[in-house]
Structures are given as C-alpha cells and as structure tokens.
C-alpha cells in the first residue's frame, strides 16, 4: 500500500523536498538553492529552468535514501512562493522570460498611477489586497507591455501565466495541466475572494487576457498526475496545493478561528485564521484565502515583512560578517544590546502596516563604537520590530489581544531572536518540534486530498511543542526600544 507523501516546498531561495509517512515521520529531506537574479536596483528575477532543475535535484535527493520510496508515494503536495509571476509557452512549455519575483518593485509607477486614478478601493474590495508591486497583477501587465516574447505569445494565445504552483504542476504533469487553487490565486490582484473566481473587471483593469490564466480547483483536489519526471513513476497524483504562508498556517495546526502563526523565511509573515469570515482590515493588513478544503473556504488576516532571513543572508553574502546564517546568533550574543543602533530591513520596500514601496534598508544610530556584533544584533531586532507593528495592527483589527503566537521557519531556530520577539510583543511564542511547517502544510493538504487523513482534527493531533518563549523584558526597556523604532520609521518616512 502506498502511504508516503512527497512535499515540494518551492521557496524564494531554494527548493526543498520532504518525504513523510502516514505517521508524519520525516523519512528524507533535501534542499537545493538556486541563483537570484537582480537586473536592476529593485528588480528580482528567477530563471524558471533553475527552479525546475533545483526541484528535480531536491526530489532525487530524498528518493536516493531508499530504492523503495518512489514506488510507495501516495500523493504529492506543493507549497510555493506566492506572488511570483511566471510565463511560459502553451505549445512548447518553454519559459518566455525569467519569473518576476514577489520582491520585485519595478511596477511602483504603474501601481501609483492606478492609485491616482482611484482604482484601489475596487481592488481592495474584490481581492482583500492593497495596490502594491508585491502582488502579481501589476507584474503581469508590465510584462505584457514591456517583454516582447510575452507580448508576442499572448497575441497568439500561446502565453500561459501562473504563480509557481501552476508552473510546477505544468512541469510535473508533462504539460497536461494548467491549474491553481484559491490560496495562490488570491495573491494575484485578479481574483475575487468572495466569489472564488477570476474577476473580469480586474482582468480588464490590468489588461490581462483571461486565456492566460489557470483553472481554479480546491486546495486538495486532484491537480494532475506525474508524467516523465526524472526519478518518479508516472501516474502519482498531485493532491494538495497551498501558497507557502497558508501552508504554514495549516502546518502549524492553526485550524480554528483566532489562531495565528509567524513564519521566518526570506521575509516574515503573520497569518491569523478568521474562519469563514473575510476580515476587512482598518490598518492596511490583507484579507486572503487560507484554503478551500471541503464546501467552505477559510480566510486569514495577513501582514508580511518583505525582509527577514534575507537580511541575515545580506550580512553573510554582502558584508561577509558571518560564514553561515546560523552564525548570526553567536555574533549578536557578544554584546548585551545594539548600543542604540536601529536597523530597518527594507531592502525591497516595507509592507504592512506601513506600505512604503520606495523605502530601502537603513541603519540609524551608528557611532565609532559600533562593531559587527551591534550590527548583527540590530538586524535581528529590526526583523522583530517589523513583526511587532504587524501583530499590533492585527490585534486592533480583531479587537482582542493574541495570547500566543506559533513560530516557524529557519530563523525561528534562533533563540536570541525568538526571545527578543516575545519581549517586544509582550506575547508568548510557541515553537513546534518540526519548524519546517510550510512543507508540513503541503503534506497535510496532499494527505487530506488522497484520503490518508480524513479531517483537520488529525492535523491538530500531530502538532507538538518544542519550546515556549515567555516575555521577560522590563516594561520600561520595552517602551524605550519601541520608541527608538518608531522614531526610526518616522525618520525614514520623512526621506521618501
């Protein structure tokens, strides 16, 4: 009997494959990084061939652990970076251009014009999103207007658009399927989150032909079956798809209204389950589809900081202060604090609740006494401050305080960051034993889709705590930290 789930977690900097049995034991794990492409300041691209190659290497990496694994896979689940826009030929499957990544800011002027023309209220009402370059819609319009290969293919009906999930399904099925599901579709600015369908008015606004778009299925439907994938037998069903942050919400077992999680990846993202109700934010947070499993969709309130782990990577790759990302905790612990240095991690703008697309990363308070440890500490604290602003806006929207926050992702292993985050939020943080909860969300979705698990209660039973971080910072110190942060944000706003 086939009882294994293969999860593909296609992230911003790498592709991960995870093989899990029906008892949720991780049998194999393999990650492959791929290159980041920066054609101009503020532009970020990925080569889709690089992504497919990394995905294949990750799959081969887990299957190499045992000859029996491949033939015992019951289903494949996929979770992915969400707003990244992909374009390929319907006829040949060949990518028409590099993918335009969610971090990319090239469409700032386009979004500003649409705002000036008064279109943001309609967009917010239909999609739950704000008009920002972060989302896919403006990227698609820009590509249709500025990239000749995409413009030409679209004019002949040969251009397929999709988020990363759609592209991976296309490749995994040998080109047989062009599909997506609501958690990914809800990040495009083209999807009506109430009707759960592509919105004709928004397609017209962004000048996107409907023929380019994938078909929308439920999050645990059958999306297709494998065909000619290296190392995999043909015919394995792809049964669960979720955008990465929604997958983490499911993987954290936040299946009841009011439960929330924060994922620390390239960026950091807080999502709160709002049940079957669309929660309209008064503080510039996003309403999004968490998943559609069964008859009714589940919605979430979301706030995201575009830069989290990426700031640590910058210290490693850009400044050479550390050899590996995990070294930052040791470096930061050499000093008791940042010595007044405040860092705003805004390499690709600032998201919720400030929404400053033109902002760039900035240090305040550097003196002759500042050393590499102060810089490292300030970078970690900057990530925590961003999350503080998001969560406080979320609490205001919900009208209640959050008593605990589930945390996951690579940086959640950093105890120094987690303790400072708990202190500055004045909220306990709960870290699970398995911090790769994004991939686990894909596992749960696929397992629910193929019948290995019957309902969400089994997801809850599988979740176990590793450590709880309790706030311990004195109130006055916390207030001083937040005052310095607020002053830095105000100073940055004044410069834009």
pLDDT of residue 60: 93
pLDDT, tens only, 136-176: 999 999 999 999 999 999 999 999 999 999 999 999 999 99
Both structure tokens of 192: 């009506």
Half-sphere exposure of 334 (CA within 13 A, CB side): 12
3-state class of 150 per DSSP? helix
Question: Does residue 123 belong to any structural domain of this protein?
Answer: yes
What's the pLDDT tens digit per position in 328-368? 999 999 999 999 999 999 988 888 788 887 889 999 999 99
Task: Give the 3-state secondary structure of residue 119.
Answer: coil
| 467 occurs within a structural domain | no
With bands split at pLDDT 50, 70 and 90, how would you rate the model's confidence at 110?
Answer: very high
SS3 for 452?
coil
CA–CA distance, 434 with 80 (Å, rounded to integer) = 18
* Strand pairing category for 179-180 and 215-216: parallel
Q: Is residue 292 part of a domain?
A: no
Inter-residue contact 161 to 208 (CB < 8 Å): yes
Within 10 A of 429 (CB to CB), how many other CB atoms are there?
22
CA distance 132 to 264: 22
Q: Is 285 left (phi over 0), alpha (psi -120 to 50) or beta?
A: beta
> Please, are residues 72 and 22 in contact by the beta-carbon 8 Å criterion?
no
- Considering the chain, what percentage of its residues have pLDDT values greater than 90? 74
**Domain coverage including residue 161:** 4-244
pTM: 0.86
Q: Which two tokens stand for residue 165?
A: 């999930």
Q: What is the CATH number of the domain that holds 83?
A: 3.30.420.40
- Provide the CA 489 distance to its chain's centre, in angstroms: 24
User: Does residue 195 surpass a pLDDT of 70?
Assistant: yes
Q: What percent of the chain has pLDDT over 70?
A: 100
Closest listed residue to residue 98, CA positions, set 48, 164, 143: 48
> 350 has which bridge partners?
356
Q: What is the pLDDT of residues 61-87, one digit of tens each?
A: 999 888 888 888 999 999 999 999 999
Strand, coil or helix: what is 153?
helix
What is the total count of domains within the chain? 1
- 214: in domain: yes
Predicted local confidence at residue 13, as pLDDT? 87
Q: Taking residues 247-252, what's their average pLDDT?
A: 92
From the number of C-beta atoms within 10 Å of its C-beta (0-12, 13-18, 19+), residue 464 rates as exposed
C-alpha distances in Å from residue 252, one per residue of 249, 336, 433, 435:
5, 32, 10, 9
235 domain residue, yes or no: yes
Strand order in the sheet with 26-33: 26-33, 14-21, 4-10, 73-80, 237-243, 224-225
Ranges 105-109, 324-328, 349-353, 448-452: which has the least confidence: 349-353
Q: What is the pLDDT of residues 373-426, one digit of tens each?
A: 999 999 999 999 999 999 999 888 888 888 889 998 888 999 999 999 999 999
Based on its alpha-carbon atoms, the radius of gyration of the chain, rounded to whole angstroms, reads 22
SS3 2: coil
Is position 122 within any domain? yes
Identify the pLDDT of residue 1: 63
Tell me the average pLDDT of the chain.
92
Residue 84: how many other CB atoms lie within 10 Å: 26
DSSP string, 48-107: HHHHHHHHHHHHHHHHTT-TTTGGGEEEEEEEE-SS-BEEEETTT--BSS-EE-TT--TT
Reported as a pLDDT band with limits 50, 70 and 90, residue 278 is very high
Helix axes 475-495, 415-425, angle to 10 degrees: 90
Domain membership flag for residue 13: yes
């Amino acid at each position: 009997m086939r009882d294994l789930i293969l999860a593909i977690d296609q992230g911003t900097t790498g592709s991960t494959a995870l093989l899990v049995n029906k008892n949720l034991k991780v049998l194999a794990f393999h990650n492959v990084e791929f290159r980041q492409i920066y054609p101009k300041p503020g532009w970020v691209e990925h080569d889709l061939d690089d992504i497919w190659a990394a995905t294949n290497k990750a799959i081969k990496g887990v299957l190499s652990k045992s000859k029996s694994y491949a033939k015992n896979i019951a289903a494949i689940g996929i979770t992915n970076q969400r707003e990244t826009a992909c374009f390929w030929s319907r006829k040949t499957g060949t990518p028409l251009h590099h993918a335009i990544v969610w971090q990319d800011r090239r469409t700032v002027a386009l979004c500003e014009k649409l705002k000036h023309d008064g279109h943001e209220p309609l967009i917010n009402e239909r999609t739950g999103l704000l008009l920002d370059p972060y989302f896919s819609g403006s990227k698609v319009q820009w590509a249709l207007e500025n990239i000749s290969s995409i413009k030409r293919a679209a004019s002949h009906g040969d251009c397929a658009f999709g988020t990363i999930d759609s592209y991976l399904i296309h490749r995994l099925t040998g080109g047989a399927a062009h599909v997506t599901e609501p958690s990914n579709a809800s990040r495009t600015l083209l999807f009506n989150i109430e009707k759960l369908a592509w919105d004709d008015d928004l397609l017209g606004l962004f000048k996107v032909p409907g023929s380019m778009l994938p078909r929308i299925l439920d999050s645990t439907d059958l999306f297709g079956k494998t065909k000619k994938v290296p190392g995999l037998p043909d015919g394995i069903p792809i049964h669960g798809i979720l955008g990465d942050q929604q997958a983490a919400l499911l993987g954290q077992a936040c299946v009841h209204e009011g439960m929330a999680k924060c994922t620390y990846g390239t960026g950091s993202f807080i999502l709160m389950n709002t049940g079957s109700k669309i929660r309209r934010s008064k503080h510039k947070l996003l309403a999004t589809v968490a998943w559609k499993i069964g008859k009714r969709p589940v919605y979430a309130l979301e706030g995201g900081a575009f830069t989290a782990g990426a700031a640590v990577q910058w210290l490693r790759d850009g400044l050479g202060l550390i050899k590996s990302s995990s070294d930052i905790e040791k470096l930061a612990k050499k000093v008791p604090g940042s010595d007044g240095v405040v860092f705003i991690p805004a390499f690709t703008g600032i998201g919720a609740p400030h929404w400053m697309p033109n902002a760039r990363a900035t240090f305040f308070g550097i003196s002759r006494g500042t050393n590499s440890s102060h810089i490292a500490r300030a970078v970690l604290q900057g990530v925590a401050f961003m999350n503080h602003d998001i969560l406080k806006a979320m609490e205001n929207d919900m009208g209640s305080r959050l008593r605990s926050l589930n945390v996951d992702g690579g940086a959640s292993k950093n105890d120094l960051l987690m303790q400072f985050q708990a202190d500055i939020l004045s909220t306990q943080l709960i870290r699970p034993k398995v911090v790769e909860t994004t991939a686990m969300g894909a596992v749960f979705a696929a397992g629910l889709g193929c019948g290995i698990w019957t309902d969400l209660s089994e997801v809850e039973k599988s979740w176990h705590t590793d450590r709880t971080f309790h706030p311990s910072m004195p109130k006055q110190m916390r207030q001083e930290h937040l005052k310095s942060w607020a002053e830095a944000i105000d100073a940055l706003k004044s410069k834009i």
